[in-house]
Amino acid sequence: MGEFCVPLLPLSVILSLPHHSWTLPAPQDVSIGSVNMRHTLTWQPLAALCGTAALYTVQFQGEFERTIFNDSWLDAPQCQRTPHTHCDLTSDLGSDSDYAIRVRAECGRQMSPWVRLNGLFNRRDTLLSPPEMAVAAMGDSLRVSFERLPRMASVSITFWRQGGEHEVRVMG
């Protein structure tokens, strides 16, 4: 039998792992403001740490995600890799659930750690301001109009003729 020789070649293996070096600082001063059922998350922009604009991603987690879906997080669709330092979460936080909210920054291949809103947010804590109302007499009728009502507001109007407080009417 003939012998043959197989030369050994140097073998190098390149291991490809996701590279997320947490070298960026986390966004600071994360807070949420809620007025008339409009919920806006805000944070401070990162200082100029990279050659391009920092991009931000926002996620939220309701009670359902925490208890049923093993602490999973949902992306806020309008706030994925956005250059803005605010995010309108009105349509995302649509129930009277307690929500955890978090944001992180990325710059090129660098990402910051997630930073969470202190405490949980519930839309029941929104600040309701009185609606702007205008009343105009039109013959023997009154025209009542409102501006900037929340989308899901219901209005009830109580009225009576002067001196006839015992004949109160409610519409709405």
DSSP string for 22-73: TTSPPPEEEEEEEETTEEEEEEEPPPS-SSS--EEEEEEE-HHHHHTTTT--
What does the DSSP 8-state code read for residue 9?
Answer: P
In the predicted model, is pLDDT for residue 23 greater than 50?
yes
Does 47 map to a domain? Answer: yes
Instruction: Give the pairing of strands 86-88 and 141-147.
Output: unpaired
- Buried/exposed 128-137: b ≥16 CB within 10 Å, e otherwise: eeeeeeeeee
With cut-offs at 50, 70 and 90, classify the pLDDT of residue 17. very low
Question: In this structure, are 145 and 117 located in the same domain?
Answer: no
Q: What is the pLDDT of residue 50?
A: 67
What distances in angstroms separate CA 76 from CA 30, 91, 155, 156, 167, one per listed residue?
Answer: 15, 9, 31, 34, 51
Alpha carbons within 13 A on the beta-carbon side of 96: 2
pLDDT of residue 8: 47
Instruction: State mean pLDDT over 132-150.
Output: 82
Domain membership of residue 34 (yes or no) is: yes
In a domain, 72, yes or no: yes
Residue 65 has pLDDT above 50, yes or no: yes
Query: Between these two residues, 30 and 25, which has the higher pLDDT value?
Result: 30
Residue 68 lies in a domain: yes
Least confident interval from 20-24, 87-91, 143-147: 20-24
| Cα–Cα distance measured from residue 118 to residue 30, given in angstroms and rounded to the nearest whole number | 8
Same domain, 48 and 108: yes
pLDDT of residue 75: 97
Task: Tell me the two tokens of residue 133.
Answer: 């109302």
Does 96 score more than 80 pLDDT? yes
Last residue of a domain, one of 125, 144, 159: 125
Chain centroid to Cα 69, Å, comes to 20
- Judged against a pLDDT cut of 80, whether residue 150 lies above it is answered with no
pLDDT at 2: 54
Please check whether residues 118 and 142 belong to one and the same domain: no
Backbone angles phi, psi at 94, to 5 degrees: -95, 10
pLDDT at 16: 39
State the residue range of the domain holding 160: 132-171
Q: pLDDT band at residue 151, thresholds of 50, 70 and 90?
A: low
Q: Domain of 34: which CATH number? A: 2.60.40.10
User: What's the whole-number mean pLDDT along residues 12-40?
Assistant: 74
Q: Is residue 145 part of a domain?
A: yes
**Given a cut of 80, is residue 82 above it in pLDDT?**
yes
Give the rounded percent of residues in the chain with a pLDDT score beyond 70.
Answer: 83
56 and 98 within one domain: yes
3-state SS assignment for residue 124: helix
pLDDT range class, residue 11, cuts 50, 70, 90: very low
Number of compact structural domains in the chain? 2
Residues 89 and 73 in one domain: yes
CA–CA separation, 100 and 138 (whole Å): 50
